[in-house]
Amino acid sequence: MRVAGAIDIGGTSTKVGIIAEDGSILMRETVPTSLQGEPRGIVAAIGDSLLPMLAKVRDEGRPAIGVGVSVAGFLTPDHSAMVHNANLPALREFPLRAALEERLSIECRLEVEPNASTVAEYQHGAGRGSKRLLGVTLGTGLGGGVIIDGKLLRFTGECAGDIGHVIADRNGRLCTCGARGCLEAMANTAAVMERGSGRAVREIIESARAGDNASARVLAETGWWLGLGLASLSPIFSPDRIVVGGGIAAAGELLLVPTRESYRTHARPEFTRTEVIGSSFNGWDGIVGAASLFLDPVP
């Protein structure tokens, strides 16, 4: 079975791993994404984590055929660098593909992170069988990818655009992009922590699962904003299915039930039958989709 290395660079953490062609994760690890100083520090940390994995599969007689890289932000047309993301300033305009190839000594290919996550769901997860799939990743930021009839939608920054920055509340939280009330700002990790009195998202989720009503309300409010945003996006992309992934989606139905309720309240009648479901990958969709750049590319 063919395997590929994979990297998923997010605003807070970076995931690395080895993925098999059936979408299974053979090895994986998380390293912090340093937002300060020289971007080659990020590349070095990725290499320190991934190189031993690449060596292991090579020693086992099944060398990786390449390394797919999912990065949050817009890409250049040749997919050599990330050019726009307010949450990853250290990597803007940096020749990321070349730097990774130099560090890892293997061919690398870059993809926009929400695209990679959506591809993972489309090929191996909750998006299988969808004709018009909208995949949303919710964490430090909020991004989205769209697959229509088996092809990725690309029209801004090599993706479906910056969907997390539609305005959901003109008086809402200040977003890292400089605007106020973006969907991202109303539903991302920082918003959840703010509603949860500064607690980490994981702690809020665990407390809500244990029956803490205040924590459940934090997730319900987040779901309300997410549902509103998804309802606003549906007339643009006309999805038959929406898959919600990313770190906050680990809350499962505690987030998804209020998201669906809000979506059905705000969506136009023709979209109320659109499925809104959770990711199949518990936050690891980015590396699975990144590996598909070598194992099973989506045009």
Q: Is residue 28 part of a domain?
A: yes
Do 269 and 291 lie in a common domain? no
| Percentage of residues in the chain having pLDDT higher than 90 | 85
Specify the pLDDT at position 261.
97
The stretch 181-193 carries a mean pLDDT of 97
Residue 260 near residue 276 (C-beta atoms within 8 A): yes
179 and 102 within one domain: no
HSE on the CB side for 33, CA within 13 Å?
19
User: What is the reported pTM?
Assistant: 0.92
Angle at alpha carbon of residue 18, lines to 17 and 24, rounded to 5°: 105
Same domain, 251 and 291: no
Specify whether 149 is located in the same domain as 274: yes
Determine the residue type at 235. P
144 shares its domain with 270:
yes
The verdict on 40 and 138 lying in the same domain is no
- Does residue 39 carry a pLDDT above 90? no
- Per the domain annotation, does 96 fall within a domain? yes
Whether 148 and 244 share a structural domain: yes
Q: What percent of the chain has pLDDT over 70?
A: 99
Number of domains forming the structure of the chain = 2
Whether residue 85 has pLDDT greater than 90 = no
Q: Using CA atoms, how far apart are residues 3 and 64, in angstroms rounded to an integer?
A: 5
Q: Which structural domain, as residue segments, surrounds residue 25?
A: 3-115+284-295
Pair 222, 168: CB distance under 8 Å: no
Residue 121 included in any domain: no
23 and 162 in a common domain? no
Give a yes or no: residue 120 inside a domain: no
Q: What is the pLDDT of residues 88-123, one digit of tens each?
A: 788 889 999 999 999 999 999 999 999 999 999 999
Looking up residue 138, the CATH number of its domain turns out to be 3.30.420.40
Q: Are residues 75 and 190 in the same domain?
A: no
What is the average pLDDT across 273-296?
A: 95
Does residue 35 share a domain with residue 93? Answer: yes
Residue 34: how many CB atoms within 10 A of its CB? Answer: 14
pLDDT of residue 40: 87
Nearest to 186 by CA among 160, 224, 154: 224
